[in-house]
Structure 1
Amino acid sequence: MWAKSGTSLGVGPAGLVGREGELAELAAFLDMAGTDGAVLLLTGDPGVGKTALLDATAELAVARGVQVVRGSGFEYETDISFAGLHQLVGSLPDELVLLPRSMREALEVALGLGAGPAPSRIAVLNAALSLFDEAAKERPLLLVVDDLHVVDQASRAAVGFVARRLGGRRIGLLGAQRAESGESFRSTGLSELEVAPLDDADALRLLSRRFAHLPRRVLSIVVNEAQGNPLALLEFAGSTGVSGDQHGQRAGWASGPGRNVRALYGARVGRLPRETREVLLLAALEGSGDLGVIEAAGGPDSLEKLAPAERDHLVTVTENGSAVRFRHPLVRAAVVDDSTGEQRRGAHRRLADALADQPERRGDHLARATTTADETVATVVESAARSSLRRGDADGAIARLRRAAELSPDRSDRRRRLSQAAYAAAWVAGHLEVSHEIMREAEGDPTARSLSAAATAGFLVLVTEGDADTAHALLMEAVEQAPEMPGPPREEWETALFTLTLASQYSGRPEHWQPLVDVLARFPEAAPAAAASLGRVHHNLGSVTDGMLRRLGDEIARLRDQGDADVVIRTALTASYLDRLPGCREAVYRVIRDGGAMGSSMPALMFVALEDLHAGRWQASAAAADELIALSGEMGYRLFAQLGHYVAAMAAAQRGDLDTCREHCEDIWGWSGSRGLRRLENCAHQAAARAALGAADFEMAFQHATAICAPGTLPPFNPEGVWSAPDLVEAAVRSGRHAEARRHADALRDAGVAHLSSRFALSSATVTAMTAAAEDMAKCFEEALRLPGVEQWPFEIGRAHLAYGERLRRQGLNREARVQLTAARGRFEELGARSWEARAAVELRATGMTRSGRGKAGEALTPQELEVARLAATGLSNPQIASRLFLSPRTVSSHLYRVFPKLGITSRAGLRDALEVLPPEPPAPRL
């Protein structure tokens, strides 16, 4: 496509024929990139001239003083994460050493250039952007990436990440991909320039300039056959004799320009010396063009053997002498096509030897070098898959585990590796369809089901259908058939125990959790985030020792360097039971932001929502819960959606949004009840009890709280019983069930959870104070409120102040009660806990502290009218208000009859808005 020289009609400024429009757009692109950043994607058919336009733009950029860095996709490396990014980063070694240490290490570890803790995906992407920023400090930078359609997924994500953040930077990103490549990169919504075939006039002009010795008749045949494809034009004409076919027919090429050019390149490759073809094959299969790796694989004199290919312009060596580039992807394809299977396998073996320090790439080459089952190679490839998971590359791990399964001579090893791939697809990557597909491959004798297969099958049926019965049965059958093993469980056992624990956990029924307890008894004490520890914590919170809490703290501290999403989620899951989620937040956020672990991002969203809930950030908590519900529904993880409904119900309950809370609870009961998922039903009862307490409906609150557990008991495998214990005690006290309240307060103290966290300590101390004798009550509440660390639990603090104030008022200590009730009302007002704020306000007014209100007509509400109006605004019925204020329902109705015209409304629906616009009450008098 290159013209030798000239500026005649149809020849662009770079010597390209018929590309004046494209070159003008590319020049404008460079102008913008050099000042404010720009991105452009070239699309078109193979051989249409995309690479030539990339070359022309790069040449123009260099002439303007722009630094150019190039990379390209390669079909043999699509499953090697960051293989494409490796080319770009490898071209900037001087700039890499200038990055902050954390960024430099993130890139080096992710690209296999160094060792260390696995970085998060977002850390790698940010480091890459910072590297390009560093390179653009002295002069503008142009990133050129060819064949984006075969760039590995991780690198494509990095390119897209960088592309969307170039505004204001002196960086240009110019890419190219085939028109038929579908979604690969165009889904990012970046600007595109379609490169169309040349029209006949431009095609003939191009040939006339380059092949003036050929007769016009032959050139016309070439134009007709090449269909405007520039690469086909040049290669067809170049392969034609002086006069062409004597009968005026086409010059021996088959139909289809791309395939024909590939054949022509194949002929040129075939004419090269054998040793040159051998080195070219190494370069083609190595992918990145790294001459150091190629020389290590081919021998000390291998680079000299490239000379014939360079002279024939099939390859070029970069200016810095570190890499070799093929003239066109079709040349690389022709080199591979020219080789035999044994030659390719030999090349892969030599490359594997040269990449001994890069386990994933070594495993990939060994896998391609092996055609028969080989356990040694399968083990290496499986190890490479583990390395991929540690780097957060779930997709790469899945592909490598499947390949390891193919290479497994033993049927059980094959089934185990396939099951692990399916498990990673479902739990980490979020690819349910892929997981089901792999499990179909793994199907075998059901009586010989492996632990891994049972774990994956059980997990799939649990998270998609909520079928805890089937999941539990599958796991128990496999566990009972598995041979006994000494010491801590190995990975296969760990996965099985984790899934069995999940099934037992969501079931919450003794017939499921009791067999799990028996299984756990076989294993010694494990790390806090191990499946055995999780099962024991869930079974009995009070069994957690201070030593285990310290070890959990150490594991949480290490999460900052953890790239394996599975490890992050399991650690956060244990932490969630023990009020340690704040320390996990950064790592959990990485799982959500990185986007490479969609399966794990759903429980990660739950942890974020829970942490926001406990911290009093209820709007953020509800938003995360809604996102979890939507994502779970979209991806088919129906179980996880119920967890979103639970957190959303709790946030609504504490805000006083009774209707929203009820809707979420009914969603949970409707889905979980028929499936026997008792724990999820308990979650909904916990939220419903909390909502009823806020509305001062103590009878309803008691019914929901005792649906979780009976007064005075905290059964195993029922953490909601511990978390809702203050609700049951308060509901019992306020509904006159003092004996039940005392029994349950004793049960919470006896559970031994107060040492786990300041929230558990506050809950235990508060219920003790609620049920204490009158002479001990104040001392107990004061001790509860002085506990260290309780300020991080604002809602629980507000509840303690409210309960304290209520007890004081009922003992006639109104002055002291006002202090506590004012503190409670202030807490609830800050949190947006409207129904709870209303409860505190009613109690305050009962002490004699009132707020005055004035309606639109200017007529003031009496204190009792205001009290009735506020309770009605929370959704209470007239009989409920009457019971609360020791009035008759008729009196309540009369008050509301007078309130409505004073506020300028006609129904209860307008109460909340009308009360909000009342002037603030005057400051409370000093006591």
Structure 2
Amino acid sequence: MWARSRTGTGVGPTGLVGREGELTELAGFLDMAAVEGAVLLLTGDPGVGKTALLDATAELAAAKGVRVVRGSGVEYETDISFAGLHQLVGSLPQELGRLPRSTREALDVALGLGAGPAPSRIAVLNAALSLFDEAAKRQPLLLVIDDLHVVDQASRAAVSFVARRLGGRRIGLLGAQRAESDASFRSTGLPELEITPLDATDALRLLSRRFAHLPRRILSGVAHEAQGNPLALLEFAGSAGVPGDRHDQGAGWASGPGRDVRALFGARVGRLPHRTREVLLLAALEGSGDIGVLEAAGGPDGLGELAPAERDHLVMVTENGRAVRFRHPLVRSAVVDGSTGEQRRVAHRRLAEALADQPERRGDHLARATTAPDEAVAAVVESAARSSLRRGDADGAVARLRRAAELSPDQTVRRRRLSQAAYVAAWVTGHLEVSHEIMREVEGVPAVRSLSAATTAGFLVLVTEGDADTAHALLMEAIEQAPMSPGPPSGELETALFTLTLASQYSGRPEHWQPLSTVLAQLPAASPAAAASLGRVHHDLGSVTEGMLRRLDEEISRLRDETDADVVIRTALTASYLDRLPGCREAVSRVIRDGEAVGSSMPALMFVALDDLYTGRWQPSADAADELVALSEETGYHLFAQVGHYIAAMAAALRGDLDACRRHCEAVWGWSGPRRLRRLENCAHQAAALAALGAADFETAFRHATAICAPGVLPPFNPEAVWSAPDLVEAAVRSGRHAEARRHADALRDAGVGHLSSRFALSAATATAMTSGAEDMVRCFEEALALPGVEQWPFEVGRARLAYGEGLRRQGLNRDARVQLAAARGRFEELGARSWEARAAAELRATGMTRTGRGKAGEALTPQELEVARLAATGLSNPQIASRLFLSPRTVSSHLYHVFPKLGIASRAELRDALEALPPEPPATRP
């Protein structure tokens, strides 16, 4: 740390009394910042001297050749995202112009200085850091930010982001905030320096230096009443010589020093000329102190009217002449407190006119200038909300939509705007409590339920309670009453259709998807990410045309520059059905990483977990699924938690962790069953079937697979039927149900899904090969494994090779079988698919590839005897063993007849112990 011992001179080098230790520490901070970067937060009560120390440090920095850029929180701008960052960026126009175009545009759009695609939050934060880096190239840079406790949330995030990345940069960040603030930076763990009141000696020393003309009696009284608060000391003493002032009368100050100082500032402001107070009010409400805005709002002579306030040291104009700064935040508060409501409304209207090129700030000032419902103003504020949403400020969008609703004269329009705010709060920001609060307002408005209200109510009841019945009923009624335009749906109708599609998907029941199909049939072709396209994909995967796939690929390619979380999630949702998640990975990861769109980050986690699952990264997939479950339960989105359990169950099934798979499946069945969410139940059956196949429990696998659909049938609105079709075919083949297996393989081939992706093509071809005749089997498997692009699906390739090797062994082609089985075993070993690796190893042993062990009687078991014995030891019956090994029950019985005496046992109950007593097997003999 850069702190040094406190000196005893009483007066610091800048003339501050009693702050020698703080100034010494700040000087050390500056030295460190100029070389390797540093951050420090000053904390303390109002008026304790934080701002004075900021000023002193800024002066010292300038004297040392450090460039100083200042900003401050403004309590009237806490709901304007990046208002604080705007002040810092606005002081560096030349450096901003030198940034790469994409970086500069991210800041321009986020701060409302330009138009374009909404940047992600992380892009804005990185752009701000790049800007400060650029500014520090020629000389060290000091960022000074006062009143951090009232800086807007987005700017606070930027300050925290920059503060943690200053190591090795010639940048210092010095901030100040009130100690009692609820919005404290303390949770970030950044270095702090607490500024405490002056002791009695220093308080009197300060008063004596500044007010030597006052009697000692008055100075002692002021020192006592001010409680060591420097600002209170100076202001109380400054008013003590005024005739008739309460200090001369020996009156005490019952309230706190900060409140009394604010009152004294108010008195000084009140003595200023009327025109000066008008310009001060504009500066206080505008927030950034931008001279250009104040000139436009206050008229050509407005700045000249500030002279009386400057002479009274209430405000100052920065050296570059671009901004007006208040001496202390309490001065700003006193200016606003001393104005009337009408004066503030007039000031806001003038500021709105001056900010015509900044829609969000203009909308904010217009909203504050308007007290009665006004549709023209409400429309401007709603437009500002849409602008906020486009640039990624979902919280700002919610606040502005609510304000637009308040200003809406028409009750129906008011309900629509409130409902939209509630939907954004639930779907994008993840603030369910805010969404429910807004919906209670909606229910209180005496009007017919709007389409937006039905959409939000349906979405909330679906994601929180899993009530697809209520969601579907609400949405169908509202959509049927809504007018249908000739073109693709947009706006409220599109959002309603998307939510209806979600409800129908999770329900998976005909009574829900059949009405949806009727609605979809009336709609024209739309964007691949539109609700209508999603519904059609979900209804029939095979109906997706090459043209739609090309359009989807084009939309995915544009996601790199798309940061509207809603667009990203909808595109990725369609892509997830068509094996195109890898192209969406970067965009959905941004949604998660930014952390602002909590609601959208849950489906984003789904897509990351699914992408990892399909491409063989099963541990990351399980980790993302666990994170999804935890986040969903924490925030109340219980429906999304079930998807997390499903993905975790699939990862566990593939890795052979049967207990974990069962736990996750039971969680899904336990929650979804009573709610009749058939699709989620099917998802759990898919995972359970896959786990059983890995464990070679083909009867159980067949039972779970046929719970999803009957053999030979791929029903509509049941994508799990397509995805689990290879599971049903394999389970049917290995359990002796060859007719059912062929019917289902034919159904998968006829569904026409092979053109969607190489994974679908491989699955369909493998199913066909498993059920083909002996004369065609080799050709079918070779064609399947030769399909282009299949290597990106490692598990499916390993599974195809395992089935191929099993088929060859069944035909007695052991040498050829070993090639495929060894390749399958190697693939499964690489993936960590333990149960599938064991299956491949067992098949290899059955080909004679592994040497046998010797029993207690000393006679060797043959490879097939050893395999039969191992299966019998698990408790399987002779017919079950016969089915798995493609033998007859009579042959199995014959093998066991020879195994018992070789192992020196007399019953099946002794098999497990006898097998465990066998000596370790020698290394496998490979061809």
With the length of structure 2 as denominator, give the TM-score of the two structures. 0.93
Q: For residues 739-758 of structure 1, what are the structure 2 equivalents within 5 Å?
A: 739-758=739-758
Contact 2:736 2:883 in 1 (8 A): no
What do residues 867-892 of structure 1 show as CA deviations (whole Å, max 9, x unaligned)?
5798799x886876676456457857
Contact 1:285 1:348 in 2 (8 A): yes
Shift of 1:646: 0.4
Q: Distance in 1 between matches of 2:154 and 2:860?
A: 67
Measured at CA, do residues 70 and 509 of structure 1 come closer, stay the same or move farther in structure 2, by a change above 3 Å? same
Shift of 1:8: 7.5
Amino acid across the alignment from 1:898: A
Q: Distance in 1 between matches of 2:852 and 2:78?
A: 71
Count of residues paired in the alignment: 902
Q: For residues 36-435 of structure 1, what are the structure 2 equivalents within 5 Å?
A: 36-241=36-241, 249-250=249-250, 255-435=255-435
Q: Provide the secondary structure at the position in 2 that maps to 1:675.
A: coil
Q: Distance in 2 between matches of 1:359 and 1:672?
A: 45
Q: Provide the secondary structure at the position in 2 that maps to 1:255.
A: coil
Query: Is the aligned partner of 1:650 residue 2:617?
Result: no
Amino acid across the alignment from 1:671: W
Shift of 1:343: 2.0
Measured at CA, do residues 860 and 405 of structure 1 come closer, stay the same or move farther in structure 2, by a change above 3 Å? farther
Q: Which residue of 1 aligns with 2:473?
A: 473
2:916 is aligned, of 887, 900, 904, to: 900
Contact 1:732 1:738 in 2 (8 A): yes
Deviation larger for 34-43 or 785-794: 34-43
Q: Distance in 2 between matches of 1:246 and 1:387?
A: 52
Q: Distance in 2 between matches of 1:634 and 1:598?
A: 11
Shift of 1:744: 0.9
Measured at CA, do residues 447 and 421 of structure 1 come closer, stay the same or move farther in structure 2, by a change above 3 Å? closer
Q: Distance in 1 between matches of 2:259 and 2:524?
A: 63
How high is the sequence identity, in percent, across the aligned residues? Answer: 83
Contact 1:245 1:251 in 2 (8 A): no
Q: Distance in 2 between matches of 1:895 and 1:766?
A: 36
Deviation larger for 609-618 or 829-838: 829-838
Shift of 1:445: 6.5
Q: Distance in 2 between matches of 1:883 and 1:114?
A: 70
Q: Distance in 2 between matches of 1:249 and 1:303?
A: 39
Q: Provide the secondary structure at the position in 1 that maps to 2:71.
A: strand
Query: Is the aligned partner of 1:511 residue 2:511?
Result: yes
Q: Distance in 1 between matches of 2:859 and 2:335?
A: 93
Q: Which residue of 2 aligns with 1:29?
A: 29
Q: Provide the secondary structure at the position in 2 that maps to 1:13.
A: coil
Contact 1:125 1:161 in 2 (8 A): yes
Q: What are structure 2's unaligned runs of at least 5 residues? A: 1-6, 901-907
Deviation larger for 242-251 or 636-645: 242-251
Shift of 1:244: 7.4
Q: Which residue of 1 aligns with 2:905?
A: none
Measured at CA, do residues 103 and 243 of structure 1 come closer, stay the same or move farther in structure 2, by a change above 3 Å? same
Q: Which residue of 1 aligns with 2:903?
A: none
Shift of 1:621: 0.3
Q: Provide the secondary structure at the position in 1 that maps to 2:495.
A: helix
Q: Which residue of 1 aligns with 2:10?
A: 10
Amino acid across the alignment from 1:614: Y
Q: Which residue of 2 aligns with 1:4?
A: none
Q: Distance in 1 between matches of 2:694 and 2:69?
A: 63
Q: Provide the secondary structure at the position in 2 that maps to 1:528.
A: coil
Measured at CA, do residues 76 and 242 of structure 1 come closer, stay the same or move farther in structure 2, by a change above 3 Å? closer
Shift of 1:341: 1.9
Measured at CA, do residues 288 and 810 of structure 1 come closer, stay the same or move farther in structure 2, by a change above 3 Å? same
Deviation larger for 654-663 or 885-894: 885-894
Q: Which residue of 2 aligns with 1:641?
A: 641
Amino acid across the alignment from 1:21: G
Measured at CA, do residues 881 and 166 of structure 1 come closer, stay the same or move farther in structure 2, by a change above 3 Å? farther
Q: Which residue of 1 aligns with 2:577?
A: 577
Amino acid across the alignment from 2:531: A
Q: Which residue of 1 aligns with 2:661?
A: 661
Q: Distance in 2 between matches of 1:79 and 1:796?
A: 51
Amino acid across the alignment from 1:87: Q
Deviation larger for 338-347 or 673-682: 338-347
Q: Distance in 2 between matches of 1:327 and 1:553?
A: 57
Deviation larger for 129-138 or 545-554: 129-138
Shift of 1:243: 7.9
Measured at CA, do residues 308 and 750 of structure 1 come closer, stay the same or move farther in structure 2, by a change above 3 Å? same
Measured at CA, do residues 542 and 246 of structure 1 come closer, stay the same or move farther in structure 2, by a change above 3 Å? closer
Deviation larger for 417-426 or 536-545: 536-545
Deviation larger for 195-204 or 412-421: 195-204
Amino acid across the alignment from 2:465: E
Shift of 1:690: 0.4
Shift of 1:99: 2.2
Shift of 1:298: 1.9
Contact 1:859 1:902 in 2 (8 A): no
Q: Distance in 1 between matches of 2:875 and 2:555?
A: 47
Contact 2:47 2:229 in 1 (8 A): yes
Q: Distance in 2 between matches of 1:17 and 1:919?
A: 86
Q: Which residue of 2 aligns with 1:911?
A: none
Q: Which residue of 2 aligns with 1:482?
A: 482
Q: Provide the secondary structure at the position in 1 that maps to 2:674.
A: helix
Amino acid across the alignment from 1:169: R
Q: Provide the secondary structure at the position in 1 that maps to 2:180.
A: helix
Q: Distance in 1 between matches of 2:869 and 2:393?
A: 58
Contact 1:217 1:248 in 2 (8 A): no
Measured at CA, do residues 770 and 64 of structure 1 come closer, stay the same or move farther in structure 2, by a change above 3 Å? same
Contact 1:860 1:902 in 2 (8 A): no
Q: Which residue of 1 aligns with 2:442?
A: 442
Shift of 1:548: 1.1
Contact 1:741 1:771 in 2 (8 A): yes
What do residues 370-429 of structure 1 show as CA deviations (whole Å, max 9, x unaligned)?
111111111111111111111111101000000000011110111111111111111110
Contact 1:861 1:902 in 2 (8 A): no
Shift of 1:200: 2.3
Q: Distance in 1 between matches of 2:250 and 2:876?
A: 92
Q: Distance in 2 between matches of 1:364 and 1:860?
A: 87
Contact 1:838 1:871 in 2 (8 A): no
Q: Distance in 1 between matches of 2:884 and 2:214?
A: 104
Q: Which residue of 1 aligns with 2:563?
A: 563
Shift of 1:247: 8.7
What is the CA RMSD across the aligned residues, in angstroms? 2.4
Q: What are structure 1's unaligned runs of at least 5 residues? A: 1-6, 904-914
Q: Distance in 2 between matches of 1:720 and 1:876?
A: 31
Shift of 1:483: 3.5
Q: Distance in 2 between matches of 1:869 and 1:151?
A: 73
Deviation larger for 682-691 or 308-317: 308-317
Query: Is the aligned partner of 1:767 residue 2:767?
Result: yes
What do residues 22-66 of structure 1 show as CA deviations (whole Å, max 9, x unaligned)?
223222322332233222111111111111111112222222222
Contact 1:853 1:921 in 2 (8 A): no
Q: Which residue of 2 aligns with 1:780?
A: 780
Q: Which residue of 2 aligns with 1:909?
A: none
Measured at CA, do residues 308 and 851 of structure 1 come closer, stay the same or move farther in structure 2, by a change above 3 Å? farther
Q: Which residue of 1 aligns with 2:802?
A: 802
Deviation larger for 860-869 or 275-284: 860-869
Measured at CA, do residues 64 and 861 of structure 1 come closer, stay the same or move farther in structure 2, by a change above 3 Å? farther
What do residues 229-257 of structure 1 show as CA deviations (whole Å, max 9, x unaligned)?
11111111111216876995346967322
With the length of structure 1 as denominator, give the TM-score of the two structures. 0.93
Q: Distance in 1 between matches of 2:816 and 2:883?
A: 25
Q: Provide the secondary structure at the position in 2 that maps to 1:97.
A: helix
Contact 2:218 2:247 in 1 (8 A): no
Q: Distance in 2 between matches of 1:538 and 1:859?
A: 59
Q: Which residue of 2 aligns with 1:906?
A: none
Q: Provide the secondary structure at the position in 2 that maps to 1:371.
A: coil
Contact 1:694 1:839 in 2 (8 A): yes
Contact 2:359 2:384 in 1 (8 A): yes
